[in-house]
Amino acid sequence: MRILYMHPAAAFGGASKSLIELFACLRQQGVTGTVLTPRGPVCKAFTDAGMDVRPVRGLSQFDNTRYGYYRRLRWIILLRELLLLSFSLAAIWRLRHERFDLLHVNEITLLPLAILTKWVLRIPMVVHVRSLQRTPGNGLRTRLINHWLARHADAVVAIDHTVRQTLDSKLQVEVVHNGLVIDNPPAGSGGHSRALVTVGFLGVLIALKGIYELIEAMRILKERGVQVHCLIAGENARQLSGLKAWVLGKLGFARDVRADLERLIVQHELQGHVSLLGFVGDVRTLYPQLDVLCFPSHLDAAGRPVFEAAFYSIPSVVAVQDPVLDAIIHEVTGLAIPRPDPVLLADALQRLVENDAFREQLGRQARAWAQDNFAIGANAKLMHGVYLRLQPSSDR
C-alpha cells in the first residue's frame, strides 16, 4: 500500500514522532509513505524515517480544538490559514497524477483541506484525531466538524478514550493508542531514595503546556523548603522578530516563552532549582535522570511524555479533570490534579518528593500499565487493520 500522509506542523513534536514510529512498523508490512507537510525540522525527521517528503510553505487548518478554537481575537488566525490556502491547493494539485491507496490525515485540524484532497485523488481517508475537541453539540462549528467526519471520513481513529469522548457518540471511532518505541528501557531513578528529587518537563515551550504554572509551583516548593530540582526540556514553538512579532505579541498569539522563563527564574531566585535544557534530541538520555514527570497542560489530557516516562518506571503528575484508564490512573500510575493550578501542582509534587516508597510503587505500576497499553507492535497492527479494511478488494 502507498499511503499519503498529511501532517500539519513544521516543528518536530509528539504527533510527528508518533507517526514516524507507527510508520516504521507499517513499513515492515509493505506500506510506503509520502508525507505532505510544512517546511521545517520535521521534514528531515520524516526523510530519515524513509518517507517521501513533499514540503509546502504551509497547510491551511481549521482549529476547533478545546483550547485553540476561534473566539474573539483568535478569529484573526484564520487570515493566516487563508494566506496558506493557495500553497496548500497547489501542493495537492501537484499530486493528482500520482497513485495512492489511502489518505491518512495526522490531525483533525486538517479536515477541510483533507476532504478536498480526498476528492482530487479519489481515495479513502483515515482521520487521526489527536487533540481534544469541543464538547459534542457545542455550537455550529462542532456540529459541522462531526458532520464532515460522518460524511467524508472512511475511518476515524482517536489516540485514546479521552479524545474519543470529545467526538460525537454516533460516530464510528476506533481507538488506537500512540505506540512507543522504547527498547528495554532501564528503570528511571524515581525508585531510589535521594536527597534531591528531580522533576522533569518535556515539550514545546508554549503557555498551554502549563509551563508558567510549573515555574510558579517550583517557587512555592522553594518557599516550603522542599528539596526538588526541575529539568525543563523543550524549545520555543516559534522564533519571531520584527513587525510580525510585535503584532502577534500585542494580540497575545506569540510569546518568547524561553525569555519569560529565564526572567522568572532570576526574579524568584530559582537558579538552583530549575534548569532549562533547551531541545533534547534523544529523550532516552533524559528519562533516567528523572524521578517524576510533570505534565500540567491546559488541554485536560495526558501527553506522550507521560507514557514515555511510564516505560522508565517514572510516575507523572498530570492536569486532567476526569482521567480515563488509558490516560493516567490516579494514585496508581501517578497523580491527577483537576486543573493546572500552581498550588495543586506543588501539593502533588511535594507528596511524591517526600514519599519515596509511594513514588517507587507508582513507578512500578506505571511501567506495567505502559507495557499493556502502548507497545508499538500491537497498536501498529490495529492501524494496519484499518488500512486493510479500506483498501479496495482488487488490491489486496
In the structure grid, which three cell numbers stand for residue 168, read together? 460525537
Tell me the pLDDT of the chain (396 aa) as tens digits: 999 999 999 988 889 989 999 999 999 999 999 999 999 999 999 999 999 999 999 999 999 998 889 998 889 989 999 999 999 999 999 999 999 999 999 999 999 999 999 999 999 999 999 998 998 777 899 999 999 999 999 999 999 888 998 999 999 999 999 887 776 666 655 445 557 899 999 988 888 899 999 999 999 999 999 999 999 998 876 555 555 555 555 555 567 889 999 999 999 999 999 999 998 888 888 999 999 999 999 888 888 899 899 999 999 999 998 888 888 999 999 999 999 999 999 999 999 999 999 999 999 999 999 988 888 898 999 999 999 999 876 565
What domains are there in the chain, each with its CATH number? 2-179+375-395 (3.40.50.2000), 189-373 (3.40.50.2000)
In the structure grid, which three cell numbers stand for residue 8, read together? 500539519
Strand boundaries in 101-205, DSSP class E: 102-105, 125-129, 155-158, 173-175, 197-202
In angstroms and rounded to an integer, the radius of gyration of the C-alpha atoms of the chain is 21
Tell me the C-alpha distance between 239 and 248, whole Å: 12
- Give the C-alpha distances (Å, rounded to integers) separating 147 from 64, 120, 143, 357: 13, 20, 6, 50
Angle subtended at Cα 198 by Cα 197 and Cα 204, rounded to the nearest 5 degrees: 160
Predicted TM-score (pTM) of the model is 0.78
Tell me the C-alpha distance between 316 and 348, whole Å: 10
Tell me the C-alpha distance between 39 and 196, whole Å: 42
103: closest CA among 393, 395, 396, 391? 391
